Chains A and B, each alone.
Chain A
């Protein structure tokens, strides 16, 4: 039973290029979350998606960042016109549908480390 799969593990981009990060959730999980970890900081929530729906994008920067989770295929986090400040580790997590009375346990992938030159 594969866990949350993220690729690429490492991505190098020059300023102004586009970065695409992919996340395949655990089997049976229909909810995907993206988090960003800047150097020396904790993980910051970016976006929460279900299939074909963005549920909560309150942590997404207003410009250049977008996320999708299509009916088929992985979730994609897309960063257009990258800048040096986008250099970070981007973690994807997945969960089953939220239980009625409890908290979801998020299962995290190994992360994608983006370096912007």
Chain B
């Protein structure tokens, strides 16, 4: 069975500061990993995905994530936060061959302050 753990249910950063949202996964086989963003009253939007190609994955809106097998991590980063980045971010995992069943973390709410 697979699972993801997101450390920190709330993260607050200043505008222009580095964004780091943590995600650790547990999987018995090579996983596929995703980050989704949810803006208020909207559905989830895919930010980026890791599917066993490059370990550093670039996504939309300046976000990127690095797959580190030794640390079982897939942390999301952005060099400089913008006010529009305030949202809830979900890490998700699925196993190779069972791509339909995403397992989500509990989410991290990002607050961006002036």
Which A residues are within 8 Å of any B CB, using their own CB? 3-4, 6, 31, 33, 35, 40-45, 48, 55-56, 58-59, 91, 93, 95, 98, 102-111
Contacts and interface: CB of A to CB of B under 8 A. Distances in A.
A3 to B, nearest CB: 8
B102 A106 contact: yes
Interface residues on B, range: 20 to 34
B89 to A, nearest CB: 11
Interface of B: 9, 32, 34, 36, 41-46, 49, 51, 90, 94, 96, 99-107
A111 B101 contact: no
Contacts of B100: 31, 33, 48, 55-56, 95, 98, 104
Given A43-B90, A105-B49, A48 B101 contact: yes
Contacts of B32: 102-103
Contact of B106 (A40, A59, A109): A40
Contact of A42 (B34, B45, B49, B105): B105
